[in-house]
A and B are shown apart, each in its own frame.
Chain A
């Protein structure tokens, strides 16, 4: 006596098994949209640079997404990577790029940076301000930006550097 499997047989006869991939496509589309949006938003904040690579760093991971990022970097170049002999510090010591969030400024235009930061801090008083400055910059290139931040009323500044090796 033949046993009919209800999964693969109908009254009309056997049917070919098929895979329902509609939910898979839905999820993949959602993931694509997520990455498209996030890569645009984060790309404006995280300009490429070589951050200070500290000896035994006390840096902590920042989990708060509500933040204002100030970027200060020499001309973008992809070849430099942190090295033990500090060779990555042999780069121009003055900034070519200065940005606050998505807004770009002329590198030495700290007055406009101060005004923009002041407006940003007034609108988002709880947002910490991150200073992402390239480790190769001279202190005299970074100090005016620190001054502008202080004059803009920014008190909660966080200096961005690499995390310890075991947390990267």
Chain B
């Protein structure tokens, strides 16, 4: 009696293997094992490494103007208002000139030389006439116009240092002269 061909097995087993019941097709076996585990994993380690390197780079290179501060310097916004002669105070001049190197020579009120910005501040503080700020009488009230007159070749460092000394001494009306005013 001739053998009738068996129909193809949907699971992939072919003739003899199906009859014997073992030695399945390797492709099918692999498929079954992965479906039994049921999880596919993505290797994230290298991505996290790169992300952290990018993070460190941007943290290090970001510049937030750290350590910088500001000094308020109000500029005249319009034409100067006329001042009545009886209200006008004689301005206090601070002259700055280069010393030939990177230093600076300082004179107050065109006569009084001072040796540094600490001395300039001490002189201005001693001269301040402000009972609310310090006891005793001084020569200049806080709203006395203080005009800083730097020569053109004075470094900006020294100009701001002079401005800082005046502001610390609590004078409120401080201005800069143009470099050709000296």
Q: A residues within 8 Å of B by Cβ?
A: 21, 25, 28-29, 31-32, 35-36, 38-39, 42-43, 45-46, 51-62, 86-87, 89-90, 93, 128, 130, 132-143, 146-147, 149-150, 153-164, 167-168
Contact = CB atoms under 8 A, between A and B. Distances in A.
A51 to B, nearest CB: 6
Contacts of B161: 52, 54-55
Contact of A59 (B71, B96, B156): B71
Given A52-B156, A153-B77, A157-B73, A42 B67 contact: no
B75 A155 contact: yes
Contact of A142 (B64, B68, B156): B156
Contacts of B103: 86
Given A25-B48, A136-B157, A140-B179, 6 more contacts: A42-B65, A52-B160, A55-B117, A55-B161, A143-B178, A160-B70
A139 B156 contact: yes
Contact of A138 (B118, B154, B168): B154
B118 A162 contact: no
A162 B117 CA distance: 16
B155 A32 contact: no
A96 to B, nearest CB: 15
A158 B156 contact: no
Interface residues of B, number: 52
B133 interface: no
A147 B178 contact: yes
Contact of B179 (A36, A89, A90, A139): A139
B58 A158 contact: no
Contacts of A160: 65, 68-70
Given A57-B164, A154-B75, A162-B68, A136 B156 contact: yes
Chain B CB within 10 Å — which of A25, A54, A160 has the most? A54
Please provide the 4 A-B residue pairs with the shortest distance between their CB atoms, ordered closest to farther: A59-B69, A35-B58, A140-B152, A135-B157
A58 B157 contact: no
B83 interface: no
B44 A21 contact: yes
Contact of B62 (A39, A62, A133): A39
A138 B153 contact: yes
B179 A159 contact: no
A42 B164 contact: no
A167 to B, nearest CB: 7
B71 A58 contact: yes
Contact of B156 (A25, A35, A62, A134): A134
B3 interface: no
Contact of A168 (B66, B72, B178): B66
A162 B160 CA distance: 11
Contacts of A161: 68-71, 160, 164
Contact of B58 (A36, A60, A162): A36
Contacts of B58: 32, 35-36, 39
